[in-house]
Structure 1
Amino acid sequence: MNRASKIFWPMLVKPKDAVIKQTEQLSRSQKLLTELGLIKSGSNGTYQIMPIAQRSLDKCINLVQQNMVEAGGQKITLPVLTSTALWKKSGRLEGDISEFYMVRDRSGKQFLMSPTHEEAVTAMLATAAPISYRQLPLRLYQIGPKFRDELKSRFGMMRAKEFLMKDMYTFDLSQETAKDTYDIITKAYDRFFQQLEVPFVKVNAETGIMGGSLSHEYHYISSVGEDTLVKCESCGFAGNAEVFHQSSNCPNCQKADNLSQVHGVEVAHTFLLGDKYSKPLGATFLNTSGKPQSLIMGCYGIGLSRVLAASLEVLSTDQELRWPKLLAPYDVCVIGPKQGSKEQTLAERVEYNLLEHLGDICGSDEVLHDDRKDLTIGKRLLDGKRLGHPFIIVAGAKSVLPEDPRLELHSSDGNKMELNLNEALQMVNQYVSQKKHLINIRMSTKEEEQTNRQQKVGHTL
């Protein structure tokens, strides 16, 4: 059982009459996460993640991994440092590299603190033993830090210099099978964002420095978003304004004068790359004739720390955090009587009985026991509401009434109910069932058939 008194939770305490000078524009999520002690600024553009927020981030990681494995992904780990020689071969070192961190080792060799790993993973494939067409498609993913020297790092983890990313790199034998892979992985991305239940848009995008022939971005709509999107009010089609800046008609339904502009926070990006990297870096496979042929690539990124911050930005109020169901650090917080109160002895029996039942329903790791009994129930309840626990259940004076004992249940949507024990447990049980339903969203039959077809291609060619 998680005990609030033992959690490292360095909340900012402001004197009542203090006047705080604001030196920069803060996003809602950045302000709340910092004030509540869930993140701390390490330096300009970097953040230290405290235990409660780390729980949420770990849940995000696990959910992404579930989707990547279901889509045929295999997990790897690549070094943070990538030789600049590889970026010279791909031609990307000749472009704008002002956002990249460069370091040298003691012998003078230069490396990038990788903002992305296309060159590194392609070079790894190029130096591996000859790959047979029977081994394709390959879908390799990793989860780790990325680095970009943002000119204007702001809005907390939504635009940081160091961030956590899931990046996948896929290798196919033809443009056709690479497009099948692209469809499978983007469907897995669709599923992941649907599981989070945060409204998102998937837009056509420019390929930019990454290159390739096809690209999509996933955005959360927010006033602090730095991308301008064009959205059709008739059919729901959306695109990056950079792509459709000259268009007055919807490219999808062709209706005129029905396009509106909104701001988006980019949380994921997918690319169909072709042989842009495999050709210059010599990554090949042996075809049915036993001859080497360039691998056809795709790459797929999700900014995990950005997803966490941006989802809170969209869902939260100005004063209280709101979490996606599957990312909430805890399902329920239990608050018992204050130390020394007249109902303490009897109410604590109710409190510990409640904790035992909740452990059976949620699993004890999903329950937070706010055992800081030197604080009033009101103070602990205020902290719990600001932290955005899906449910807070209070075992106070009303829980020991002889005729009709009641627990006080507060839900994160602002509702307050007085329920008996069984009714409160039923509410939590329904919530846990909803979470299980979201976790168990699977690939459609069509996607499964597409995956099976690709696997058969590798064995029958």
Structure 2
Amino acid sequence: MNKASRLFCPALITPKNAVVKQTEQLSRSQKLLTELGLVKSGSNGTYQIMPMAQRSVDKFVDLVQSNMQLAGGQKITLPILTPTNLWKKTGRLDGDISEFYMVRDRSNKQFLMSPVNPRGGSDCHAGHHITISYRQLPLRLYQIGPKFRDELKTRFGLMRAKEFLMKDMYSFDVSNERAGETYAIVSAAYDRLFKQLDVPFVKVNAATGMMGGSVSHEYHYISPVGEDTLLQCSSCGFAGNSEVLDAKPESPVSCPSCKGSDLKEVRGVEVAHTFVLGDKYSKPLGATFLNTSGKPQSLVMGCYGIGITRVIAAALEVLSSEQELHWPCLLAPYDVCLIGPKQGSKEQPAAELIENELLLKVGELCGHQELLHDDRKELTIGKRLLEAKRLGHPLTIIVGAKAAHQDSPQLEVHLSKGEILELDINEALKLVAEHSQHKKNLLNCSFLQDKEENRSQSVGQQH
């Protein structure tokens, strides 16, 4: 059982009247994660993730992996250190490499600490000792691991750090047509993943940029701290990156979807990016397969990235208030926080009987690993409740004085959005069961499809 008294959560305590010098710009999510001890700043642009936040990271990794596997992905691990000769072959080192970390070994050989790894993905197929038949394609290989970028100005904590956790997938197909089919399948998995998180997002046409290729889309969370400028249509909801739409003040663009002119600028945090790369990397690296004639032919590639730690921070930025974290339902570190009576209070003996019953029954409903028992009974209920609300637990159940009433014991239940309920034991357990069912619905996306259908019907009726 998870006990708050054993949880390593080194909250940041600032003495009264202390002058705090800010070395970087803070976002709402960064401020809360740091103050509450979920994330600690390491060196400039690096962060230590504490146990409670690590639970959220692990949950998101599991969710990403399940969706990648549904899309036919196979998990691999590629080296973080990649020889610079791989990058030279594709011409990538000829451009701006100021964000790359370059290191040398004791033999003075130069390596690059990968910011993303399509070259490594291509290289795992290159070389004379590996022969791939067209029968083995398509291949969709993904990894989850740290990436590095020497950001000139780190901003907003995990949203723009020098070291971050990323999922990158590389697909290999026999032709552009088949690569397009793979792109549709993986894109559908991305759409499903972001719907499961149930945080408002937009998918936009994007420039291929330094990665190159023929097709590209970005996934954004709309937030004032976003670094991308998007144009969003108020009529149909379409959104596009301003770089692609080429908007100019003297000649405003119309919506490519509905042709309306009501486009407004919003700021977006890019959390995922997909590309069709063609043979940009496979050709120079010699990554080939044997076609139906038995002759070598260049593989056609795709690349698909998700910023694991960035998604979590950006989602918190969108959902949270200034004082309290609010998590995507599937990523909350714990589903339920149970707070028992204060040590030495007159209601303690009777209330603890209810508390022990709830520890068993709530754990059975939501899973014992999803229950956090705040057993720090030397602290008042009010102090523990304040912390629980700031941490953003979806459900916080208080077993206090009203639970000690023999005739009709009442529990105080706090929901993450601020609602407070007084419920009997069975009603509280029903609420826990409903929350668990809501998580299952998110995982199978059934209720999301219903919401979309209802929204579409509503829009159709309005027009």
TM range (shorter): over 0.9
* TM-score with structure 2 setting the length: 0.94
Structure 2 residue aligned with 1:459 = none
Percent identity between matched residues is 69
Distance 2:226 2:232 in 1: 15
Which residue number in structure 2 is paired with residue 124 of structure 1? Answer: 124
- Alignment of 1:168 with 2:178, yes or no, is no
In the other structure, the counterpart of 1:457 is none
2:292 is the alignment partner of 1:288: yes
1:253 aligns with 2:258: yes
**What's the CA shift for 1:243?**
1.0
Give the CA deviation at 1:21: 4.2
The 5-angstrom pairing of residues 375-414 of structure 1 reads 375-414=379-418
SS in 1 for 2:126: helix
- Residue 143 (structure 1) shift: 0.1
Match of 1:137 in 2: 138
Q: C-alpha separation between the residues in 2 aligned to 1:259 and 1:402?
A: 61
The alpha-carbon deviation at position 16 of structure 1 amounts to 3.8
2:234 aligns with 233
Cross-structure match for 1:209: 210
- State the one-letter code of the partner of 2:197: L
Equivalent AA in structure 2 for residue 320 of structure 1 = E
Contact 2:195 2:445 in 1 (8 A): no
Q: Residue by residue, what CA displacement relative to the aligned partner does 1:33-77 show, whole Å, maximum 9, x if unpaired?
A: 000000000010000000000000000000000000000000000
Q: Tell me, what secondary structure is at the counterpart of 1:131?
A: coil
Residue 354 in structure 1 maps to residue 355 in structure 2 = no
205-214 or 231-240, which deviates more: 231-240
Cα drift, residue 318 of structure 1: 0.2
Aligned to 2:188: 187
Q: Work out the CA distance in 2 between the residues paired with 1:86 and 1:17.
A: 54
Q: Where does residue 268 of structure 1 map in the other structure?
A: 272
CA change 1:22–1:106 in 2 (3 A) is: closer
Distance 1:207 1:11 in 2: 41
Task: Tell me how far 1:232 sits from its aligned partner.
Answer: 1.4
Shift of residue 23, structure 1, vs aligned partner: 4.3
| Structure 1 unaligned spans of 5+ | 445-461
Counterpart among 322, 329, 332 of residue 328 in structure 1: 332
- Deviation digits for residues 328-369 of structure 1 (CA, Å, limit 9, x no counterpart): 000000000111111111111110101100111011000000
What amino acid maps onto 1:20 in structure 2? V
CA displacement, residues 140-186 of structure 1 (integer Å, 9 cap, x when unaligned): 00000000000110100000000000000000001001000001101
Counterparts of 2:276 and 2:224, CA distance in 1: 30
What is the aligned-residue RMSD (CA, Å)?
1.3
CA distance in 2, matches of 1:21, 1:301: 35
Structure 1 residue 252: deviation in Å? Answer: 2.2
Where does residue 430 of structure 1 map in the other structure?
434
Deviation at 1:409, TM superposition (A): 0.4
1:307 aligns to what SS in structure 2?
helix
Superposed counterparts of 1:45-124, under 5 Å: 45-124=45-124
Q: Which amino acid in the other structure matches residue 176 of structure 2?
A: Q
Instruction: Note the C-alpha offset of 1:388.
Output: 0.2
SS in structure 2 opposite 1:146?
A: strand
**Contact 2:74/2:141 (CA < 8 Å) preserved in 1?**
yes
For 1:395 and 1:148, how far apart are their aligned partners in 2? 48
In structure 1, distance between residues paired with 2:401 and 2:294: 79
Paired letter, 2:92: R
SS in 2 for 1:126: coil
> Mind listing any 5+ residue stretches in structure 2 that lack a counterpart?
449-463
TM superposition outliers: structure 1 runs of 4+ over 4 Å: none
1:250 to partner: Cα distance: 1.4
In the TM superposition, residue 407 of structure 1 has moved relative to its aligned partner by: 0.6
Task: Give CA-to-partner distance per residue, 1:405-454, whole Å, 9 cap, x none.
Answer: 10110010111111100000000100100101111238x9xxxxxxxxxx
- Farther off after superposition, 417-426 or 23-32: 23-32
Deviates further, 123-132 or 266-275: 123-132
Establish whether residue 2 from structure 1 lines up as the match of residue 2 from structure 2. Answer: yes
Pair 180,367 (structure 1): closer, same or farther in 2 beyond 3 Å: same
Please state if 1:439 is matched with 2:443.
yes
Distance apart, 1:280 and its partner CA: 0.5
